[in-house]
Amino acid sequence: MSATPFLVLSAILFTIGCVGVLTRRNAIVVFMCVELMLNASNLALVTFSRVNGNLDGQVAAFFVMVVAAAEVVVGLAIIMTIFRTRRSASVDDASLLKY
């Protein structure tokens, strides 16, 4: 079994997520794109684990999932708070913390 298709899929997913983060304004969408990038890297980790024949990559993938879950908790809470105060979820609107 070749690892190439998995890695190509991982790269495509990562690029979609990356472009989404840079171009979209809605915080929820940006957030989902970040998740997409995390899962793309998870896919790459699991693929390499398989290729190398050990479990290191899979363990790392679990760590990423745990961190992502925690991030979702905190991130969604922040987005909710921002939406409640500003009536908008646009990341460009929340630009007061600057020089």
Partner 1 sequence: MFVPLAETAPTVDPSTSGGVFSLLWVIIALPALGATVILLLGNTRTSRWAHLLGCATVLGSFAISVVAFVALLGRAEEDRQIGQKVYDWVDAGSFHVDFGLLYDPLSALFLLLITGVGSLIHIYSVGYMAHDVRRARFFAYLNLFVASMLTLVLADNYLVVFLGWEGVGLASYLLIGFWQYKPSAAVAAKKAFVVNRVGDIGMALGTMLTFATFGTLTFAGVSAAADRASDTTLTVLGLLFLLAACGKSAQVPLQSWLLDAMEGPTPVSALIHAATMVTAGVYLVVRSNFIFDYTEVAQTAVVIVGAVTLLWGAIIGCAKDDIKKVLAGSTMSQIGYMMLAAGLGPAGYAFAIFHLLTHGFFKADMFLGAGSVMHAMDDDVDMRHYGGLTKMLPVTFLTFAIGYLAIIGIPPFAGFWSKDKIIEVAFEQNLVVGLAALLGAGVTAFYMTRLMLMTFLGKKRWEDGVHPHESPKVMTVPLMVLAALSAVGGLLLLNDWITDWLAPVVGAEPHVAPEIPAIVLTLIIIAVVLVGVAIAWLTVGRSDVPRTAPARVSVFTRAARADLYGDAINEGLFMRPGDRFVNGLVTFDDHAVDGFVDGTGSAFGGMSGTFRRVQTGFVRSYALSVLGGALVVVLALLAVNLA
Interacting residues with partner 1 (CB under 8 A):
18, 21-23, 25, 30, 91-92, 94-99
Question: Which residue's CB is nearer to partner 1, number 87 or number 98?
Answer: 98
Tokens of 44: 């790459």
Question: Which residue's CB is nearer to partner 1, number 1 or number 96?
Answer: 96
Provide, rounded to whole angstroms, the least separation between the CB of residue 97 and partner 1.
6
Alpha helices in the chain (DSSP H): 4-23, 27-52, 56-86
Provide, rounded to whole angstroms, the least separation between the CB of residue 84 and partner 1.
19
Provide, rounded to whole angstroms, the least separation between the CB of residue 27 and partner 1.
9
CA 78 to chain centroid, in Å, comes to 16
CA 9 to chain centroid, in Å, comes to 15
What is the C-alpha R_g of the chain? 17
